[in-house]
Amino acid sequence: MKKIILVLTLVLLSNVTFAQNSEKAKALLEDVYTKVKSYDNIYVDFKYVLNNAEAGINQETRGEVTLQGDKYIANIFGTTQLFDGSKVYTIIPENEEVTIEDKSEDENALTPAKMLTFYREGHNYEMDILQNVNGRKIQYVKLTPIDTDSEIKTILLGIDVETKHIYKLIETGKNGTTSTFTVNSFKTDQPLSKTLFTFDEAKYKKDGYYIVKN
């Protein structure tokens, strides 16, 4: 009987610890969200690494994105993607081509506009390790998709404890692929051109670009 009581006590304590751990993680993520939403605009310069040892894939590149509300302009892999609030413009200088599409209706699609807030829905939360990175305390939160059919296994979100800014995101897929975003520079409330999120179709046509409208 004593053994049974001991086992039940350990189970209950572990559940309480997990619940507290989960609440701490959720509270930290809410702090990050509140901080992000307090800015008029955000500029992020980041390193992106895609790795799958089994498939022999190891790619590394640098990217940057400027966000203001739902609007954004992102540069990565030599391609620029612009969202003006209604349409997405994908500009590929190498091919001298621009593709124009309506905003995706897929609520689960992870766009640059959601990259700093996606974690608020559809995940279970759990506090993970605390790291010291060049004097900065980075607290990781482990996210597990609630949808069991998701192709994502886990996401580790590294948060600067002092600034409440996201420092690193490590996404592990069920196929063994790992995608890592590391923030090199995080700037807020920068002076932006009024035409930054405006697509000038005439300019690209003049430069000989092929315009594809879907």
Measuring CA to CA, how many Å separate 96 from each of 60, 88, 135, 207?
A: 24, 17, 44, 8
Calculate mean pLDDT across residues 144-165: 91
Using one digit for the tens of pLDDT, what is the confidence trace for 21-56? 588 888 898 898 888 889 999 999 999 999 998 888
State residue 111's pLDDT score: 60
**Lowest-pLDDT range, 32-36, 94-98, 101-105, 156-160?**
101-105
- As a dihedral over the C-alpha atoms of residue 192, residue 195, residue 201, residue 203, rounded to 10 degrees, the angle is -80
Using one digit for the tens of pLDDT, what is the confidence trace for 103-154? 765 454 556 666 677 777 888 889 999 999 999 999 999 999 888 888 989 9
Q: How many CB atoms lie within 10 A of CB 32?
A: 21
> What are the strands, taking DSSP E only, across the chain?
42-52, 57-68, 71-76, 79-83, 87-92, 97-102, 123-133, 136-145, 152-160, 166-173, 178-188, 210-213
Q: Mean pLDDT of all residues in the chain? A: 84
- What is the distance between the alpha carbons of residues 214 and 198, in angstroms, rounded to a whole number? 18
pTM of the model: 0.82
User: Going from the N-terminus, what domains does the chain have, and what CATH number goes with each?
Assistant: 1-70+109-194 (2.50.20.10)
Using one digit for the tens of pLDDT, what is the confidence trace for 47-87? 999 999 888 889 999 999 999 988 999 998 899 999 999 99
Given a cut of 80, whether residue 155 has pLDDT beyond it is: yes
Q: Which residue has the higher pLDDT, 212 or 14?
A: 212
- What is the distance between the alpha carbons of residues 188 and 84, in angstroms, rounded to a whole number? 19
Q: Which contacts qualify for 153-158: CB closer than 8 Å, 24 or more apart?
A: 155/119, 155/123, 156/128, 157/29, 157/119, 158/131
Given a cut of 50, whether residue 3 has pLDDT beyond it is: no
Q: Which residues contact 80 (CB under 8 A, 6 or more apart)?
A: 73, 74, 89, 90, 91, 93
Residue type, 60: E
Calculate mean pLDDT across residues 175-184: 91
